[in-house]
Structure 1
Amino acid sequence: MPIGIDTFERESAFESGDTYAERILQFLGANDEQAFERGEIAEATGIDPNVVCAVLSRLKDRALVRHKAPYWAIGTQDRLASASNLSVSLESVNETLGPEQMDDWEQAGSENPHPSDRSK
């Protein structure tokens, strides 16, 4: 059974249950007094260097890591705490209401288009 691309993108996890981003953040957080090149992060986490590059770019967009070419370091404590608080809040909502299913949202949106999207 196929899944939506949003679900596919969200569920790229390791066997341990950690996502690539979590593994990279855990590594950088454990070594917060140093900055690393992409290849060093890949080697330490066991993640393909090309995947590390993509994940680091996304983490940088969210200010969870810092970058000064060619080095990468964990983000500021304030930004990490904010992201962690959001994550805990979302986990709490998911435990109470169940996780969101993007495919359900997409189906509901196609069945009930916004009035401005309806053709006359």
Structure 2
Amino acid sequence: MPVDFESYHPTDLPDEDTNGRRILEFLADDPDLGFRPGELAEALNIPKGSVGTTLRRLEQRGFVRHKGEYWAINVEAYDAHTASEIGLHAVAQRFEGDYYDQNPDWDDDLPDIDDQARTE
């Protein structure tokens, strides 16, 4: 399927619901902190053996960095699109199931601010 080339922003982020994506989202929540693989495994309920392999793959792609045994997100590697994608996903998860999520037409009866501004 063709795409608008100028507006297309490819991402090499791991797919949603993968260990890589879960680790990135967790690290993105606290970009100034480093975590040991065991801490990530415990916090995310991921097998310890998977965490180390996943971190190395993410490092090869430039998403994470490490000092000794501590790993953190590589904020310098993110462009605005990638950071936005992770942030939006985290917000969506945080508010999943709230009133607005359960009522997708919540904004149907809101006044159109642009129309109001034109009539004033």
TM-score, normalised with respect to structure 1: 0.52
Structure 1 position 81 matched with structure 2 position 87: no
Structure 1 position 43 matched with structure 2 position 47: no
Q: What SS class does the counterpart of residue 42 from structure 2 fall into?
A: helix
Offset of residue 65 of structure 1: 0.2
Q: CA RMSD in A?
A: 2.4
Alpha-carbon distance between aligned partners in 2 of 1:54 and 1:76, rounded to the nearest angstrom: 20
Offset of residue 76 of structure 1: 2.1
Task: Identify, as 1 or 2, the structure richer in helix.
Answer: 1
Alpha-carbon distance between aligned partners in 1 of 2:30 and 2:42, rounded to the nearest angstrom: 14
One-letter amino acid matched to 2:27: L
How has the CA–CA distance of structure 1 residues 82 and 64 changed in structure 2, closer, same or farther, with 3 Å as cutoff?
farther
Q: What SS class does the counterpart of residue 79 from structure 2 fall into?
A: helix
Structure 1 position 71 matched with structure 2 position 84: no
One-letter amino acid matched to 1:31: D
One-letter amino acid matched to 1:33: D
TM-score, normalised with respect to structure 2: 0.52
How has the CA–CA distance of structure 1 residues 83 and 65 changed in structure 2, closer, same or farther, with 3 Å as cutoff?
farther
One-letter amino acid matched to 1:73: A
Offset of residue 83 of structure 1: 7.7
Q: What whole-Å deviation, never above 9, does each CA across 1:59-102 have from its counterpart, x for those lacking one? A: 0001100011110000124x1227829x8xxxxxxxxxxxxxxx
Structure 1 position 22 matched with structure 2 position 13: no
Alpha-carbon distance between aligned partners in 2 of 1:62 and 1:35, rounded to the nearest angstrom: 18
Contact 2:31 2:75 in 1 (8 A): no
One-letter amino acid matched to 1:80: Y
Gaps of 5+ in 2: 1-14, 86-120
1:91-110 aligned within 5 A: none
User: Between Structure 1 and Structure 2, how many residues are aligned?
Assistant: 71
Contact 2:36 2:70 in 1 (8 A): yes
Q: Which residue of 2 aligns with 1:31?
A: 30
